[in-house]
């Protein structure tokens, strides 16, 4: 009887821990970060702008400029080949076998992009550091101006094609009721009336969910229940294949993380070519 009670107690404890871990998804708290950086296999990546990185960054963080991960020319923002991306990360001192922790200075918009690219390349242990400056101060996250340089290493790409789609895929699934094509730009960009970020409109059939509604003013992701409610209200549910995009899909990375790792939706993808590619083909339908 005692053994049965003990086993039951351990099972409940395991389920509680597993549930807590799942709820956090691929988001790391400052408290956990202070422990993670003691592990020599942990690599910290700053996806800040070069200017902000020069002002202040986490001590030891390797700077990754997301703009250097794209092909030259038009459409802008399309990622390099897996081989080229692997070389960029390897040369910076980042391996696919590292525990990679990413952050930035802009509500994790850029961190989300780098996160998704690394997951596309097959890196298994990738998280985003929760953007909570109060928690950072409490955990005494070390900051510095001194740039960090990693030792060149090998990054072996194991491409995950399940999380990326191209223009042909979007065209083929344009009227598929089982697909939720989600434009994560703000409403004005979505409807083509933005003067700040001029836009011709959105891909016909897409629904709108502004990525910034997922985070607080401080850049911290909202709680799981709120995130799920926001997604559901926009028509984004677990039974559909969900495809996120924006202008270049930089803003699609964080919604991908939320849907895939916090809410546990099984089929989540990013249209990497995004609006920049879609609008280049005259026959592609666009709605305002």
CATH number of 180's domain: 3.40.250.10
Give the mean pLDDT of the chain: 92
Domain count of the fold of the chain: 2
**What radius of gyration do the chain's Cα atoms show?**
20
Position 152 scores a pLDDT of 98
Q: Domain for residue 122, yes or no?
A: yes
pLDDT of amino acid 13: 38
130, 176: one domain: no
Q: Does the structure show a pLDDT above 90 at 234?
A: yes
Q: pLDDT at residue 12 above 70?
A: no
For residues 135-152, give the mean pLDDT: 95
Q: Give this prediction's pTM.
A: 0.92
- 75 and 168 within one domain: no
Confidence at residue 8, expressed as pLDDT on a 0 to 100 scale:
41
The residues facing 201 across adjacent strands are none
In a domain, 53, yes or no: yes
| Structure-token pair, residue 39 | 């592990």
Q: How far apart are CA 150 and CA 129, in angstroms?
A: 19
**Rounded CA separation 3/181 (Å):** 51
Please list, in sequence order, all residues whose beta carbon lies within 8 angstroms of the beta carbon of residue 174, skipping any fewer than 6 positions away.
204, 205, 285
Structural domain includes residue 172: yes
Regarding whether 105 and 38 lie in a shared domain, the answer is yes
What pLDDT does 131 receive? 86
User: Are residues 33 and 129 in contact, defined by beta-carbon separation less than 8 angstroms?
Assistant: yes
pLDDT over threshold 90, residue 278: yes
- 112 and 200 co-located in one domain: no
Residue 94 counted as domain residue: yes
Q: What percent of the chain clears pLDDT 90, i.e. is strictly above it?
A: 89
Q: Is the peptide bond before 238 cis (omega within 30 degrees of 0)?
A: no
Query: Which pLDDT band, with edges at 50, 70 and 90, does 6 fall under?
Result: very low
In this prediction, residues 30-48 reach a mean pLDDT of 96
Whether 79 and 183 share a structural domain: no
Owning domain of residue 82: 25-144
Verify that 209 and 282 share a domain, yes or no: yes
Cβ-proximal residues to 87 (8 Å cutoff; 6+ apart), any chain = 155
* Pair 138, 184 in one domain: no
For 259-274, what is the mean pLDDT? Answer: 98
The answer to whether residue 4 scores a pLDDT higher than 90 is no
The reported pLDDT for the residue numbered 191 is: 98
Q: Which has the minimum average pLDDT: 80-89, 130-139, 153-162, 184-193? A: 130-139
**Is there a domain that residue 155 lies in?**
no
**114 shares its domain with 173:** no
CB 161 within 8 A of CB 136: no
- Give the pLDDT score at 24: 79
Residue 271 lies in a domain: yes
Is 90 within a domain?
yes
In the listed set 144, 176, 191, which residue is the last one of a domain according to the structure?
Answer: 144
- pLDDT per residue as tens digits for the range 164-189: 999 999 999 999 999 999 999 999 99
Query: Is 17 part of a structural domain of the chain?
Result: no
**pLDDT band at 132; cut points 50, 70, 90:** confident
Same domain, 70 and 176: no
One domain, residues 169 and 234: yes
Q: Measure Cα distances from 166 to 68, 169, 272 in Å.
A: 20, 5, 7
User: Based on the domain organization, do 124 and 219 belong to the same domain?
Assistant: no
User: Do 43 and 109 fall within a single domain?
Assistant: yes
pLDDT higher than threshold 70 for residue 35: yes
- Whole-number pLDDT of residue 5: 44
Q: How far apart are CA 108 and CA 60, in angstroms?
A: 19
Can you spell out the DSSP letters for 207-221?
Answer: EE--GGGGB-TTSPB
Q: Which of 85, 115, 144 is where one domain is finished?
A: 144
């Amino acid at each position: 009887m005692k053994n049965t009670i003990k086993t039951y107690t351990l099972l409940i404890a395991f389920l509680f821990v597993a549930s807590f871990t799942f709820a956090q998804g691929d988001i790391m708290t400052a408290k956990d970060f202070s422990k993670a950086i003691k592990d020599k296999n942990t690599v910290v990546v700053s996806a800040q702008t070069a200017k902000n990185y020069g002002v202040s960054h986490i001590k030891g963080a390797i700077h990754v400029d997301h703009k250097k991960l794209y092909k030259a020319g038009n459409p802008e923002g399309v990622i390099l080949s897996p081989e080229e991306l692997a070389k960029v990360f390897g040369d910076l001192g980042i391996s696919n076998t590292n525990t990679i922790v990413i952050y930035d200075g802009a509500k994790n918009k850029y961190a989300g992009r780098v996160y998704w690219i690394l997951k596309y390349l097959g890196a298994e242990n990738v998280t985003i550091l929760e953007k909570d400056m109060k928690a950072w101060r409490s955990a005494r996250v070390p900051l510095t101006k001194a740039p960090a340089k990693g030792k060149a290493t090998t990054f072996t790409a194991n491409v995950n094609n399940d999380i990326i789609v191209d223009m042909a895929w979007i065209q083929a699934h344009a009227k598929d009721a089982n697909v939720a094509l989600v434009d994560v730009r703000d409403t004005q960009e979505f409807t083509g009336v933005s003067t700040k970020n001029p836009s011709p409109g959105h891909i016909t059939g897409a629904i709108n969910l502004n990525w910034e509604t997922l985070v607080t003013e401080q850049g911290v992701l909202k709680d799981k229940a709120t995130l799920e409610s926001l997604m559901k209200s926009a028509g984004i549910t677990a039974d559909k294949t969900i495809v996120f995009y924006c202008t270049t899909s930089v803003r699609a990375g964080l919604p991908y993380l939320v849907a895939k790792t916090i809410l546990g939706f099984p089929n989540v993808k990013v249209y990497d070519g995004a609006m920049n590619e879609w609008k280049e083909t005259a026959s592609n339908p666009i709605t305002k």
